[in-house]
Structure 1
Amino acid sequence: MFNKILVVCVGNICRSPTGERVLQNLLPNKEVASAGIAAESSRLLDKPADKTAIEIAAENGVNVDNHKAQQLTSELCARYDLILVMEKGHLEALTKISPEARGKAMLFGQWIGQKDIPDPYRQSREAFEYAYKLINESAQAWVKKL
């Protein structure tokens, strides 16, 4: 059974923190966290979620306040039963960081046609709204599977 879920994107300030909090709301009995493949190299460690991501989430009843970006590590991967990535390319990046975690990694958009959830970072509000819509649809679909 999947009781510990890790949501992964690139910087851990837009998509993965939003996905983390949406899943936490929908699955209150599960442990859900998030991390970024390149949080460290992007100098985003310990940074809060993106302002627009926080606003869009709040408008949808999801609180992303007090988030702090963290780097994906093999130790972090080992602690979780299921790892959900935002894009197909993230599976390869995850495998470089933690080869043994590849077997428990899937797309966040797996059940909505295996869609990638595009990165809205430094894009328009509409890009954030679209990403949120896909994250929410995907999270709802995961709830049915879990």
Structure 2
Amino acid sequence: QISYYLGYSAMKDHFPSDVMMPNPECLNNCCRNQQAKYKGKWAPQVWLGKGHDGKEGGEAVHEDNDWGIEVCGGSDNLPTVPKPVETSEASEAPAQGLEFQYEQRTKEEDQLDNENTVDSSEGVSLDDLMMQFNKVQST
């Protein structure tokens, strides 16, 4: 089975795996457009190797087996198809074993930054700015 995400936590000695989904609150407009395009159409795929579906192949036959490796058959060893992953749009907590590296900025913080930003180039020509720059360089 191919994993969409595989991590390793040496402190806990386990491999968390999960299907990573897109962020519905992404700041990139192109990213949100692609999410809307594929919303409801995408489901995790399960990979079945040759011979696992019961139709193709069969048991592997090797003329020499120097290492004594045996392949044991049985229907209980077949991979199962997972159910489609249901995600909530408002899920804020990461899956088990995952954690956010950075805290996401809130809309209020973004609005405060925009309010405190001053456009200093109002009424100043490019020539004036170049003269100021040259004065700073010459001193």
Q: Which has the higher contact order (CA 8 A, sep 6+)?
A: 1
TM normalised by structure 2 equals: 0.23
Higher helix share: 1
TM-score by length of 1: 0.23
Greater Rg over alpha carbons, structure:
2
